[in-house]
Amino acid sequence: MKKLLFVLLLLSLAAMGLAACTNGAQTTAAHTTALPVMDTTAAQTTAAPNTDTVTTPKQTASETSASLPATTPEDTSAPLADTTPAVTAVMTTTPETTAVVTTAVVTTAPITYTAENFMIAIDDKTPLSMIALPGTHDSGATKDMILSGTAKCQTMTIAEQLSAGVRYFDIRLRREDGALHVYHGTVDQDLTFAEVLDAFYNFLDKNPSEALIVCIKEETDATGTNDAFDTMVKNALSANAAKWYTGSAIPTLGSVRGKCVLWRRFATSSSYGFDASHDFADNSRDFTITNGAYKLRAQDYYQNDSGDAKWEAVEAFLAVMAKPSANTYYLNNTSGYKPGSFGIPNINTIKNHVNPLLLTYLEAKPSLVGIIATDFMTAEIAEAIYSLNFN
């Protein structure tokens, strides 16, 4: 009997050892992270399983439609705290390699994401200002004048930018014959505002976890219409008001999933959106716009003597973005031009110097938040930016 008990004990211990080895084995999946799921009570660190499924975040009560100008509960709330508690989660990267992620979000379950829906892996309670966001400068400028490098700033369409992970859009418009058209300077980009909005709405319908920041500016003098720019923009947005957050406060991600967040670089008789129409310093390395408790701090040093001068401004502001306040949006424009013969701008000279340096900088996985807006955005640069949320 004693021998039998001894054998059974050995078999039991062996089984326990096998189970422990099996449970401890690492699994790997592309872009699978143990980052946030909404309404969690305690963070549990788990290895990301091999899965192709995605769990869509819950919608919040604040995601209801409203006519413009909209005011949400967040407009009257107290300022967001300057710091958000850091919690550690685990993300599986390469086989037998585990990366520790310290972020302001928690999770109890793994989430798989792609460039089209990476915000699904970010907690609802995260302020929009505390997320690293890929952006594009002159987002709709895909056409040049006769000379190359004078007006074209992007090779990807708006839809392609969205699919690559871009979440901040700089939209420059001209009033022309009763409609709004995308322009860069005086160069018509053969794109209407209505087409831009269709691209935004179609994307958000397919990816309700995402939120976009849309900065709108009047680019050049009107032609063929007497309608006020403010009125034309407001009418365009009101046609699909449920897709817009037009409050002045910095919202949490959960309150604006499936929406466009308006930044306004034009004057209006009735205040709506985040007002960036005042104190937007021209050709500045570092400036701040204040709207009550909320701010925009930006770098927009665009007229450069050399690529080195532009990179110095970009790199200095990246350091600013590494020490953020939740009450402040951060915008780092890597775009610019070098004046050539007869003052003709050369955009490519700056882009060719700065974009490779930016990619190298981002590949080191710095800890920073805010918007990095580039000329000639690529899927590789976009991924390097939004991946910073999951370091």
Tens-digit pLDDT profile for residues 222-278: 999 999 999 999 999 999 999 999 999 999 999 999 999 999 999 998 889 999 999
8 A C-beta contact, residue 232 and residue 180: yes
pLDDT of 67 reads: 53
Higher pLDDT, 104 or 95: 104
pLDDT in tens, 131-149: 999 999 999 999 998 889 9
CA 202 – CA 184 distance, rounded (Å): 24
pLDDT of 121 reads: 97
Q: pLDDT-based confidence at 111, cuts 50/70/90? A: confident
pLDDT of 110 reads: 75
CA 184 – CA 193 distance, rounded (Å): 13
8 A C-beta contact, residue 301 and residue 284: yes
pLDDT in tens, 314-365: 999 999 999 999 999 999 999 999 998 888 999 999 999 999 999 999 999 9
Question: Phi and psi (nearest 5°) for 6?
Answer: -65, -40
Does pLDDT of 187 surpass 90? yes
pLDDT in tens, 166-181: 999 999 999 999 999 9
**CATH ID of 128-390, from 3.20.190.10, 2.40.30.10, 3.20.20.190, 3.50.50.60:** 3.20.20.190
Does pLDDT of 297 surpass 60? yes
Query: What 3-state DSSP class applies to 122?
Result: coil
Does pLDDT of 64 surpass 50? no
Average pLDDT in the chain: 81
From residue 73, alpha-carbon distances to 27, 77, 284, 322 in Å are 42, 7, 34, 29
Distance in Å from the first CA to the final CA of the chain: 57
Residues 6+ away with beta carbon under 8 Å from 163: 115, 116, 203
8 A C-beta contact, residue 390 and residue 121: yes
pLDDT of 103 reads: 43
pLDDT of 181 reads: 98
pLDDT of 105 reads: 56
CA 306 – CA 149 distance, rounded (Å): 15
Closest CA to 254 of 3, 40, 19: 40
From residue 332, alpha-carbon distances to 7, 132, 297, 306 in Å are 68, 11, 9, 18
pLDDT of 55 reads: 39
8 A C-beta contact, residue 111 and residue 33: yes
pLDDT of 270 reads: 85
pLDDT of 109 reads: 64
Residues 6+ away with beta carbon under 8 Å from 190: 143
Question: Phi and psi (nearest 5°) for 164?
Answer: -80, -10
8 A C-beta contact, residue 128 and residue 173: no
CA 233 – CA 245 distance, rounded (Å): 14
Higher pLDDT, 290 or 36: 290
- What would the DSSP string read from start to end of 332-373? EE---BEE-GGG-EEHHHHHHHHHHHHHHHHHT-----EEEE
pLDDT of 86 reads: 37
Higher pLDDT, 141 or 51: 141
Amino acid at 317: F
pLDDT of 126 reads: 98
pLDDT of 269 reads: 87
Query: What 3-state DSSP class applies to 281?
Result: coil
The predicted model scores a pTM of 0.78
pLDDT of 350 reads: 97
C-alpha angle 163-164-166 in degrees, rounded to nearest 5: 95
Q: Where are the domains of the chain?
A: 128-390
Does pLDDT of 58 surpass 80? no
DSSP state of 75: G
CB neighbour class for 33 (10 Å; exposed up to 12, middle 13-18, buried from 19): buried
Q: What does the pLDDT average to over 42-68?
A: 38
Does pLDDT of 383 surpass 90? yes
pLDDT of 342 reads: 85
pLDDT of 33 reads: 64
DSSP state of 19: H
Does pLDDT of 98 surpass 90? no
Closest CA to 161 of 149, 173, 153, 150: 153
Higher pLDDT, 89 or 222: 222
Q: pLDDT-based confidence at 44, cuts 50/70/90? A: very low
From residue 15, alpha-carbon distances to 19, 46, 64, 174, 300 in Å are 6, 23, 54, 73, 63
CA 365 – CA 102 distance, rounded (Å): 12
CA 339 – CA 145 distance, rounded (Å): 16
Does pLDDT of 185 surpass 70? yes
Q: Which residues pair with 175 in a beta bridge?
A: 180
Closest CA to 84 of 36, 143, 51, 45: 36
